[in-house]
Structure 1
Amino acid sequence: MQFEMEMDDLDSKLNETFDGKVVRKDLLHRIKKGTNVPTFVLEFLLARYCASNEPAEIQAGMEAVLATLDENYVRPDEANAAQSRVATKGKHKFIDKVHVRYVEKDKRHWAALENFGSQKVAIAEKFYRDTDRLLEGGIWAEVTIAHNDIDEDKYAFYVEDLRPIQLSRFNFEAYCEGREKLSRDDWLDGVLRTVGLEPSKLSPRLKLHFIARLAPLVEANFNFVELGPRGTGKSYFFSEFSPYSTLISGGQATKATLFYNNARGKIGLVGFWDTVAFDEVGGIKIKDPDTIQIMKDFMANGRFSRGVEIIANASMAFVGNIDQSIEQIVRSAKHDLFLPLPPQFDLAVMDRFACYLPGWEMPKTSSAYLTNRFGLITDYLAEAFHYQLKHNNRYEEVSSRLKLGSAVEGRDEKGIKKTLCAILKILHPDGAPNDDEFFEYVEYAIECRRRVKEQMNKRKPDDEFALIDLSYFDPEGNEIVVHCPETKGVSATLEPNRRTLSENFDGDNHEDVNQSDGQTLVQKEATISVAPKEPAADLKEVHYSINYGDTGHTYDSIVGPYLQNAKEVLVEDPYIRAQHQIVNFVRFCETVVKYPTVRKIHLVTSYDDKTDMALLNEKMDELKQSLLEVDVVFTVELSKVLHDREIQIDNGWTVKIGRGLDFYQKPEGWFTIGANDFSLRKCLETKVDIFRDSGS
């Protein structure tokens, strides 16, 4: 074997900046071909034995890695032999994944090794106290298992020593400090080398494609789809790169497996993984229609109901193969680029995709694209992504910096911004990019969302998704429309022929046929007489009084009708500081977020010398994070002097309530009617004036 390598500039920078957290990737490729050990485990051993650039030392280190795997790695079919070895020798060191769980019946904690075959291995408190993740999904570790010779004890094995292979602690600040020392391009290339690719072989566009593949691992509730030819490595990042991702390979996807098992009272895969990825998505079999409905709910906002309200952060990634020519598909009047998706994936599912990565542009996996240079240890980068998915929200930063064009609708905006957030987390965890970098990412994110909308527009027989010219405004105020390269100038996609519901369709036309119970969706729709929608009643200016003791007045009934098509709401109320006043304001926000066009709520309120500012800030921060989860930016402006009470809506309407939001009486008791349902809560006397700005 040849181990000589002259370090280039990026190798030197990575070794200097992330000392102890880098590894030569060519060594990984050589070992990986002969074993099914996870990548991050192999890199742990390589970092220990091959942390050198001297050929002789690397040769000896490689031999040590192979010997360690042969002696210590537990293979699933060798569990009985491993237990026998411990019983015979008294103890032995293994490389395995270790879980710790508390068993209520036994009133103690037990360890379980994934491949060792025992579910009741005794473990001392010091191990799981110092390494939290043993209790939260388990970790790969070097673990010394000893045999217990005391006959009275109810266990045969115990953990004598444990050294985590995955990081047991991660310092995000140190990670950001390291990133800050590298340029954007150096860091981008460093990330690509970390996942095993040689960036010098890739174009700038291909580099962004590979970064986009990582997006579901770093952005919560990110819905991603990649369809393309076989052999391009679509599923690798979800099966090998991160210990926080799981890959479902075909078969049936049930609501109990994915979301919640009612019989066992346990959450499914979305509660345990950062990313749930579906390989060979075209082969997914979903028999229960409830599964698709729950999936739609979860993809929309990260929550669903199965008897209980469940909230989870998992992203969903769908990867599959396209066997047809892309050029023929985009020029076809019958077919679209969602062709490989299963028939149960209707337009409502597709509309929830934030990013459609053009898999047909990705190169076939080959050694020509693999790097033989240094990159970060895979687990270190995976930990950084896991931390940011849980703790780092860049949505407000993106929203404040980006102005989108009028064709960008609600789900377009959400998808574009979530893709942007993911790219910023990956490439700029330490701060904001410059304008050139930021708008490069903007164009890419808009393209990825436009690809989704173009194909939905092609499939839909009416103009629901016809606004496909998604655009943004650059720093000079110029509006720039973004196109997808495969469809630019192709009228069959950009100006599809509209089909009527009464038309007869060819049964092999995939995008027109959506099988359900043996009947096509189009045929079903053709039998339904759809009445035209009644126009919304014209809103009028109103002025009325609420009398003392009146009921039936809520924020929904007073303000709700005037929130149609609103994007921003400004609330001026000097008294949002006491507990019940803040609770009222939260109820008002709950009314606002029911209108999907609203993207920002700004509160102007006041305080006095008696106000507990720390407590007020804490509650407002909690509300801010909650609103960000539904893609609404919340800002607060505090003033010592404020007297006006009004709600200004950017569609031109102003709502003035004499008492502000606090016009309810305190209930006579918390177990009386009206205590919880505010439509039954008695009111204080106040006036309501709703009028339209004369300039609107």
Structure 2
Amino acid sequence: MTEQTDPAEAVDDFPDGVDDASAPTGPPAKSALDRKINDVFGGAVVRKDLVKAVKGNAIVPSFVLEYLLGQYAASDDEATIQSGIESVRKILADHYVHRNQAELIKSNIREKGRYRVIDKVQVQLNEKDDTYEAEFANLGIKQILVSPATIKAHPKLLVSGVWCICDIEYQHSENARVVPWILGSIKPIQLSNFDFDGYITSRREFTTDEWIDLLIQSIGFDPELFGRRAKLIQLVRLIPFVERNYNLVELGPKGTGKSHIFSEFSPHGMLISGGEVTVPKLFVNNSNGRLGLVGYWDVVAFDEFAGKKKRTDKALVDIMKNYMANKSFSRGLETLGAEASMVFVGNTSHNVPFMLKHSDLFDELPESYHDSAYLDRLHCYIPGWEVDTIRSEMFCDGYGFVVDYIAEVLKSMRDADYSDRYQDHFTLGSDISTRDRDGIHKTFSGLMKIIYPHGEATEDQIEEILRFAVEGRKRVKDQILRIDSTMADVKFGYSDKAGEWRAVTTLEEDEYPAYYHQRGGATGGEVTTDGGSTDDTASTAAAVEVAPKPEPLFEGHRDFQENQRGVSYEGLLLPYLRRATDIRIVDPYIRQFHQARNLMELIEVIARTKDPADEVKVFLVTSENTEGPEKIQKQMEFLLRVKKAAEVAGINLDVKFDATIHDRSIVANSGWRINLGRGLDIFQYFASDTFELAAKLQSYRQVKAFGVTYIRESTVGDG
């Protein structure tokens, strides 16, 4: 009988996949982008839903699984994929060490003499015997001798542990002091090499939208469910991997995936609990001179960092401040440098307007970190409240980079500096400080390297990420101004080559201007517009005294940012439609269910405010669904249901189909014309759940980016 080869034995050879020329060709990739990804990056991509298919109950990071899938299932051929999945499952079943099966694995090693395992390995120096000794986390064996050459090749083994594929041998000795376990071979699970020039060449095959979608799929999400701004927020999470000494903070609600990337995405990142870190663990151990995490990892992320009552080590805060500012830390008389980026993620317990009204957006941080000197060292603040809670439908089944491949790409670009790529087109404001400028530059450079690694971007594309970089730093600085009144205001923005000034605002600034621009003293407490403390009774009385008179309706153009909340038809459209009895809506895209629902919600707004005795005529001009007879039939059903529902309130809806229309507008005999860039379809996807507030109230939904122009055509009905 021929001996069957264990699939795990082939890992050292790094096969590209299962070689089966006779395997039948499977179904084509699900989308044109997936086909393109496989054509251009064949062998470096994997179908992202496979991780869940093979993981089972193995408590192992995604990058370990994708490393294995990259060896066996990096293909779009269905037979190859299925064969690869079975190989990976067999490797995990036979060689991944579950803690509760450790004794069985040890028995296998003893009986076979040599056995391959997948486990997390940490090495320590035994100063007494002058030897390096390994400890296997799940297998539970210690004091296995490791050669100095192995440590030199893989120094991260000395810090916090690295996932490895190892051959372990067993040789019993009569000497009780001799450990029977012998390390035959050890290989950290990470890519050995890749072709960076080929990566750059392949990038040119994709449009910017396609490339961003490829990156979002590589993270594991379906790009169809994310707007442009939401995608950029996800990509900012990658900047610490591509940019040295980048200091990032993200605070927001639970369940938005803040820590996922730092624990699962790359073998070059380390996620630790905020309460578990010490000066020796993070920076240097004075007793033995051993470097801490910042000396070995590209990214050190602090999970569960928020919590006002958390106890903190003041010495740690002080040394962290110095490191974040100067990329160095002191050990006695010696100053050491490191390149690790620092990431701080934590949960908020209040919504944004509450924090802006009563404190600031750093309100949840421990007291020692709620300090202007520390906060000023942060380069960017990701608004975690804009990120949707992770739901099962958000994960993609399309193709993305094997995470280990993209992790190596990002690591290789840490030496590059793209921070000046905007200067041919734009100039930052003159009163932006050096520290603010550094934060903007590092975020801009990181996004450029992630999205435009070939350095080829148009002026509009450069402006998009420059604005995003400025906003990320502005969010930090504006909150510092609320904490420390001694700091000077800064005008955040930039000028183009023609000298036109373009101011940058944060999204929450646009949503809650009354709360956002309050200033506070350095001692904290509730902030006010004049920097002092408030008395609720007095402030309420003052508010009554200065209550403004109703202003005339705004005339002109307004833009709304993606992810903005607080927008509703009631505020956006109703003031201009009040008392109108004849309304004409032109919108070519009232075709799908959610678009018909938008129309129904506008009808509801009109119904709530009209006199029950009045009748209102609504004339809709739209276009037929072009996806086939069944879709047209559905469209007709939706519109008929809206028409019948409207009749109950005395609103008569008539519909005309016109295939030539493009522009979107509402014209009413109230004397106003409203030009809507996106028509009524301004809201992002939201769960149609009875218990979701967004399903009931539009103001709690996030919007797509859109513009609206109000034009007064007559004074009829305006007052």
User: TM over 0.5, yes or no?
Assistant: yes
Which residue is equivalent to 2:327? 302
Which residue is equivalent to 1:367? 392
Which residue is equivalent to 1:239? 263
In the alignment, the residues of structure 1 paired with residue 246 and residue 265 of structure 2 have an alpha-carbon distance, to the nearest angstrom, of 18
The aligned runs of 1:454-533 (5 Å cut-off) are 454-462=478-486, 464-467=487-490, 469-488=491-510, 490-497=512-519
Q: Structure 2 vs 1, CA of residues 25 and 287 (structure 1 numbering), >3 Å: closer, same or farther?
A: closer
Shift of 1:52: 4.3
Q: Structure 2 vs 1, CA of residues 250 and 162 (structure 1 numbering), >3 Å: closer, same or farther?
A: closer
Shift of 1:489: 7.0
The aligned runs of 1:154-169 (5 Å cut-off) are 154-161=178-185, 165-169=189-193
Secondary structure of 1:304's aligned partner: strand
Establish whether residue 45 from structure 1 lines up as the match of residue 68 from structure 2.
Answer: yes
Q: Structure 2 vs 1, CA of residues 276 and 134 (structure 1 numbering), >3 Å: closer, same or farther?
A: closer
Establish whether residue 323 from structure 1 lines up as the match of residue 349 from structure 2.
Answer: yes
Secondary structure of 1:425's aligned partner: helix
The one-character-per-residue Cα deviations of 1:542-561 (angstroms, maximum 9, x if unpaired) are xxxxxxxxxxxxxxxxxxxx
- Higher mean displacement: 320-329 or 153-162: 153-162
Secondary structure of 1:488's aligned partner: helix
The one-character-per-residue Cα deviations of 1:317-375 (angstroms, maximum 9, x if unpaired) are 11112222213333x1x321111111111111111111111111101101211110111
Please tell me whether the aligned partners of residues 395 and 418 of structure 1 are also in contact (alpha carbons under 8 angstroms): yes
Residue 377 (structure 2) aligned to one of 342, 352, 362: 352
In the alignment, the residues of structure 1 paired with residue 424 and residue 385 of structure 2 have an alpha-carbon distance, to the nearest angstrom, of 34
In the alignment, the residues of structure 2 paired with residue 281 and residue 512 of structure 1 have an alpha-carbon distance, to the nearest angstrom, of 29
Structure 1 counterpart of 2:375, one-letter code: M
Which residue is equivalent to 1:173? 197
Q: Structure 2 vs 1, CA of residues 220 and 506 (structure 1 numbering), >3 Å: closer, same or farther?
A: closer
Structure 2 counterpart of 1:485, one-letter code: L
Secondary structure of 2:46's aligned partner: strand
Please tell me whether the aligned partners of residues 483 and 520 of structure 2 are also in contact (alpha carbons under 8 angstroms): no
Please tell me whether the aligned partners of residues 495 and 501 of structure 2 are also in contact (alpha carbons under 8 angstroms): yes
Q: Structure 2 vs 1, CA of residues 494 and 410 (structure 1 numbering), >3 Å: closer, same or farther?
A: farther
Which residue is equivalent to 1:72? 95
Which residue is equivalent to 1:619? none
Shift of 1:184: 2.3
5+ unaligned residues in a row in structure 1: which ranges?
514-696
Structure 1 counterpart of 2:207, one-letter code: S
Please tell me whether the aligned partners of residues 253 and 285 of structure 1 are also in contact (alpha carbons under 8 angstroms): no
In the alignment, the residues of structure 1 paired with residue 473 and residue 512 of structure 2 have an alpha-carbon distance, to the nearest angstrom, of 18
Q: Structure 2 vs 1, CA of residues 505 and 149 (structure 1 numbering), >3 Å: closer, same or farther?
A: closer
Structure 2 counterpart of 1:363, one-letter code: D
Which residue is equivalent to 1:552? none
The one-character-per-residue Cα deviations of 1:261-286 (angstroms, maximum 9, x if unpaired) are 22232222222221111112123844
Which residue is equivalent to 2:466? 442
In the alignment, the residues of structure 1 paired with residue 266 and residue 114 of structure 2 have an alpha-carbon distance, to the nearest angstrom, of 31
Structure 2 counterpart of 1:205, one-letter code: R
In the alignment, the residues of structure 1 paired with residue 202 and residue 525 of structure 2 have an alpha-carbon distance, to the nearest angstrom, of 59
The one-character-per-residue Cα deviations of 1:513-555 (angstroms, maximum 9, x if unpaired) are 9xxxxxxxxxxxxxxxxxxxxxxxxxxxxxxxxxxxxxxxxxx
Shift of 1:120: 4.4
Q: TM-score, normalised by structure 2?
A: 0.63
The aligned runs of 1:204-603 (5 Å cut-off) are 204-283=228-307, 285-307=310-332, 308-330=334-356, 332=357, 334-345=358-369, 346-389=371-414, 391-397=415-421, 402-462=426-486, 464-467=487-490, 469-488=491-510, 490-497=512-519
Please tell me whether the aligned partners of residues 102 and 138 of structure 2 are also in contact (alpha carbons under 8 angstroms): yes
In the alignment, the residues of structure 1 paired with residue 202 and residue 304 of structure 2 have an alpha-carbon distance, to the nearest angstrom, of 38
Q: Structure 2 vs 1, CA of residues 407 and 12 (structure 1 numbering), >3 Å: closer, same or farther?
A: same
Q: Structure 2 vs 1, CA of residues 407 and 10 (structure 1 numbering), >3 Å: closer, same or farther?
A: same
Q: Structure 2 vs 1, CA of residues 304 and 160 (structure 1 numbering), >3 Å: closer, same or farther?
A: closer
In the alignment, the residues of structure 2 paired with residue 494 and residue 41 of structure 1 have an alpha-carbon distance, to the nearest angstrom, of 44
The one-character-per-residue Cα deviations of 1:629-673 (angstroms, maximum 9, x if unpaired) are xxxxxxxxxxxxxxxxxxxxxxxxxxxxxxxxxxxxxxxxxxxxx
Shift of 1:248: 2.0
Please tell me whether the aligned partners of residues 200 and 453 of structure 2 are also in contact (alpha carbons under 8 angstroms): yes
The aligned runs of 1:664-683 (5 Å cut-off) are none
Structure 1 counterpart of 2:280, one-letter code: A
Please tell me whether the aligned partners of residues 353 and 515 of structure 2 are also in contact (alpha carbons under 8 angstroms): no
Secondary structure of 2:306's aligned partner: helix
Q: Structure 2 vs 1, CA of residues 49 and 354 (structure 1 numbering), >3 Å: closer, same or farther?
A: same
Q: TM-score, normalised by structure 1?
A: 0.65
In the alignment, the residues of structure 2 paired with residue 65 and residue 112 of structure 1 have an alpha-carbon distance, to the nearest angstrom, of 25
In the alignment, the residues of structure 2 paired with residue 31 and residue 494 of structure 1 have an alpha-carbon distance, to the nearest angstrom, of 47
Structure 2 counterpart of 1:22, one-letter code: V
- Higher mean displacement: 112-121 or 263-272: 112-121
Secondary structure of 1:30's aligned partner: helix
In the alignment, the residues of structure 2 paired with residue 500 and residue 348 of structure 1 have an alpha-carbon distance, to the nearest angstrom, of 11
In the alignment, the residues of structure 2 paired with residue 261 and residue 126 of structure 1 have an alpha-carbon distance, to the nearest angstrom, of 23
Structure 2 counterpart of 1:329, one-letter code: M
- Higher mean displacement: 157-166 or 249-258: 157-166
Structure 1 counterpart of 2:352, one-letter code: I
Q: Structure 2 vs 1, CA of residues 123 and 4 (structure 1 numbering), >3 Å: closer, same or farther?
A: farther
- Higher mean displacement: 66-75 or 282-291: 282-291
Q: Structure 2 vs 1, CA of residues 121 and 220 (structure 1 numbering), >3 Å: closer, same or farther?
A: same
5+ unaligned residues in a row in structure 2: which ranges?
1-25, 534-719
Structure 1 counterpart of 2:500, one-letter code: N
Secondary structure of 1:408's aligned partner: coil
Structure 2 counterpart of 1:74, one-letter code: V
Provide the aligned length of Structure 1 versus Structure 2.
Answer: 500
Shift of 1:394: 2.8
The aligned runs of 1:82-161 (5 Å cut-off) are 82-98=105-121, 113-121=136-144, 140-148=163-171, 154-161=178-185
Q: Structure 2 vs 1, CA of residues 175 and 29 (structure 1 numbering), >3 Å: closer, same or farther?
A: same
In the alignment, the residues of structure 1 paired with residue 250 and residue 172 of structure 2 have an alpha-carbon distance, to the nearest angstrom, of 55
Residue 212 (structure 2) aligned to one of 169, 188, 191: 188
Shift of 1:505: 6.0
The aligned runs of 1:633-648 (5 Å cut-off) are none
Please tell me whether the aligned partners of residues 147 and 158 of structure 1 are also in contact (alpha carbons under 8 angstroms): yes
In the alignment, the residues of structure 1 paired with residue 61 and residue 495 of structure 2 have an alpha-carbon distance, to the nearest angstrom, of 44
Shift of 1:60: 4.4
In the alignment, the residues of structure 1 paired with residue 119 and residue 200 of structure 2 have an alpha-carbon distance, to the nearest angstrom, of 31
Q: Structure 2 vs 1, CA of residues 125 and 218 (structure 1 numbering), >3 Å: closer, same or farther?
A: same
In the alignment, the residues of structure 1 paired with residue 522 and residue 472 of structure 2 have an alpha-carbon distance, to the nearest angstrom, of 29
Structure 2 counterpart of 1:297, one-letter code: N
Counting aligned pairs with the same residue, the percent is 37
In the alignment, the residues of structure 2 paired with residue 384 and residue 340 of structure 1 have an alpha-carbon distance, to the nearest angstrom, of 35
Structure 1 counterpart of 2:493, one-letter code: S
Structure 2 counterpart of 1:96, one-letter code: D
Please tell me whether the aligned partners of residues 124 and 159 of structure 1 are also in contact (alpha carbons under 8 angstroms): no
Shift of 1:250: 3.8
Q: Structure 2 vs 1, CA of residues 288 and 322 (structure 1 numbering), >3 Å: closer, same or farther?
A: closer
Structure 1 counterpart of 2:41, one-letter code: F
Q: Structure 2 vs 1, CA of residues 266 and 133 (structure 1 numbering), >3 Å: closer, same or farther?
A: closer
Shift of 1:311: 0.7
